[in-house]
Chain A
Amino acid sequence: MVHGLLLLLLPLLPLPALAQADTPAPPFEKCEDAPYLAETPDGVVGGVNVEYDGSVAVFSDGACFASRGIQLWAREIRFDQATGEVRLEAFTAQTRTYRFRARTGVVRARLFRARGIGLTTCKCGEDLRLVAEEAHFDTESGLLVLADSELAVYGLELAHFDQLRLAIDQPVAEAIPGLPSTGGTGSGGGTVLNVPLRFGYSFSDGLTLGFEDLPLPPRAGETASSTLTLLVSNLSNPETRTLTLGAAVADAGGSVRFRTVLRHRWFDLEARLESGPFFLTGDTNRDEAVAAGARYSLFELGWRDTFALEGARLSPFVRLAEEQTVSDDNPQAHSPGDAYVGGLTVGAELRYPFELKEGPAAFRLEPWVLGAVYTHDSPYVAAGLRLEGGYSEGFSWRIAYEYSLQNRPSAYRYERREPTSRFAGELGYADLTAHASFDFLDRELGASLRYAPKLPDGVLTAEFRYRNDLDAPPGDAFAQQRELVVDFNPNPIACTFSFAAAPTLGFDFLRGGMSRAGLELRYADCCFVWKVGYQHVFLSQTGEAATGRFTFGLELR
Chain B
Amino acid sequence: MKKNALLLLVASTLVLTAGRFSSFSVESGEQELDLGTGVTTMPKGGVLVDNRNGLRLEGSYIQFKQEEFIRARNATLRGSDGNFAAASLEYVFRGEQLRLSGVRYSSSAVKGLTSNSGLGLLAENVVVLKGNVRSQDPQLEASTLVIDTARNQALVLGGFSYKDGQSSFKGQRDDSTLLIEFKSKTTATTKVPADVLGRLRSYANKL
Partners in one complex: yes
B-binding residues in A (CB < 8 A): 33-41, 48-55, 57, 79, 81, 84
- Give the B interface residue count (CB, 8 A): 21
User: Given A35-B176, A57-B1, A81-B1, A52–B168 Cβ distance below 8 Å?
Assistant: no
In the bound assembly, the distance between CA atoms of A55 and B4 in angstroms comes to 10
User: Given A54-B186, A57-B1, A81-B1, A36–B191 Cβ distance below 8 Å?
Assistant: no
B79-130 interface with A by 8 A CB criterion: none
Q: Do the beta carbons of A84 and B189 come within 8 Å of each other?
A: no
Interchain nearest-CB distance for A420 vs B (Å): 66
User: Given A35-B173, A36-B190, A37-B172, A53–B167 Cβ distance below 8 Å?
Assistant: no
Q: Do the beta carbons of A36 and B167 come within 8 Å of each other?
A: no
In the bound assembly, the distance between CA atoms of A93 and B158 in angstroms comes to 30
- Can you give 28 A-B contacts (C-beta < 8 A)? A34-B172, A35-B176, A35-B190, A36-B169, A36-B190, A38-B167, A38-B168, A38-B169, A39-B167, A40-B166, A41-B166, A48-B190, A49-B189, A49-B190, A49-B191, A50-B178, A51-B188, A51-B189, A51-B190, A51-B191, A52-B2, A52-B3, A52-B186, A53-B187, A54-B187, A57-B1, A81-B167, A84-B167
Q: 1/0 per residue B163-177: CB within 8 Å of A?
A: 010111111110010
In the bound assembly, the distance between CA atoms of A50 and B168 in angstroms comes to 14
**Interface residue? B206 (CB, 8 A):** no
Interchain nearest-CB distance for B38 vs A (Å): 51
Interchain nearest-CB distance for B129 vs A (Å): 21
Knowing that A39-B167, A52-B2 touch, tell me 11 more A-B residue pairs with CB under 8 angstroms.
Answer: A34-B172, A35-B171, A36-B169, A38-B170, A48-B190, A51-B189, A51-B190, A52-B3, A52-B188, A54-B3, A54-B186
A-binding residues in B (CB < 8 A): 1-3, 164, 166-173, 176, 178, 185-191
Q: Do the beta carbons of A84 and B170 come within 8 Å of each other?
A: no
In the bound assembly, the distance between CA atoms of A414 and B144 in angstroms comes to 84
In the bound assembly, the distance between CA atoms of A49 and B171 in angstroms comes to 10
A37 proximity list for chain B (CB < 8 A): 169-170, 172
Of chain B, the residue at the smallest CB distance from A28 is B172
Interchain nearest-CB distance for A394 vs B (Å): 44
In the bound assembly, the distance between CA atoms of A147 and B185 in angstroms comes to 41
A36 proximity list for chain B (CB < 8 A): 169-172, 176, 178, 190
A39 proximity list for chain B (CB < 8 A): 167-170
In the bound assembly, the distance between CA atoms of A36 and B185 in angstroms comes to 22
In the bound assembly, the distance between CA atoms of A36 and B167 in angstroms comes to 13
| Among A34, A48, A51, A54, residue most surrounded by chain B Cβ atoms (within 10 Å) | A54
| Among A41, A51, A52, A55, residue most surrounded by chain B Cβ atoms (within 10 Å) | A52
A34 proximity list for chain B (CB < 8 A): 172
Of chain A, the residue at the smallest CB distance from B183 is A54
Option from A33, A53, A54, A84 in Cβ contact (under 8 Å) with B166: A84
In the bound assembly, the distance between CA atoms of A54 and B191 in angstroms comes to 16
Option from A35, A40, A50 in Cβ contact (under 8 Å) with B167: A40
Q: Do the beta carbons of A50 and B172 come within 8 Å of each other?
A: no
Q: Do the beta carbons of A50 and B166 come within 8 Å of each other?
A: no
